[in-house]
Homo-oligomer: A and B are copies of this chain.
Amino acid sequence: MYKKFDTEIAVRPNEIDINRHVHQSVYFDYVLFARWDQMRRCYKMPMEEFFKRGYSWATKSASFEFHKPLHLGDTAVVRTWIREVKQKSVRVCFQILRKETGEITTEGEFIYVLINARTGRPEVIPEDVVRKYSV
C-alpha cells in the first residue's frame, strides 16, 4: 500500500477550450507536473537527481477516464500514488479532483520506465530508489 500525494493547480485561461472546459490534453500535463512536484517535495528524490545519475523516466503508457469537466476558476487537486513497482517500471495511478467540491473529474494510470539517459534503454530501478518510492 503506497501513500497518496496531492498537488494543487489553478486552471489558466489558455487551458480552456471551445467547450469552455479545461482541454483534455491539458490533464496529461497536470499529471506530469504533479509527479515532478511530488518527486521533489514528497519522495525527496527530485527529477534532477535522476538526471545526475544518468537516468531518466519515459512514459510507456497513459490512460484517462473523463468523468466531469473542470472550468475556469476551478483549482485542480492532482492526487497520484504508486500502484506497483516492477523491476524496470512503475505503475502510477492518478485522480484529478475539483478542489471546491472534492469531485473526481478525471482518473487514470501511467506506466513509467526507468531509462539510461544516454542510450534510451530500460534499466533496473536501483534499490535506493525502490526504497524511497516505498512510502
Contact = CB atoms under 8 A, between A and B. Distances in A.
- Please state the number of chain copies in the assembly: 4
A49 interface: no
Interface residues of A, number: 33
A13 B28 contact: no
Contacts of A64: 61-63
Contact of A20 (B10, B18, B59, B66): B18
A50 interface: no
A24 interface: yes
Interface of A: 10, 12-14, 16-20, 23-26, 28-29, 32-33, 36-37, 47-48, 56, 58-66, 72-73
Given A16-B17, A18-B72, A24-B28, 18 more contacts: A12-B36, A13-B18, A13-B47, A14-B23, A14-B32, A18-B20, A19-B56, A24-B32, A24-B62, A25-B25, A25-B26, A25-B28, A25-B29, A28-B28, A36-B72, A59-B66, A61-B65, A62-B63
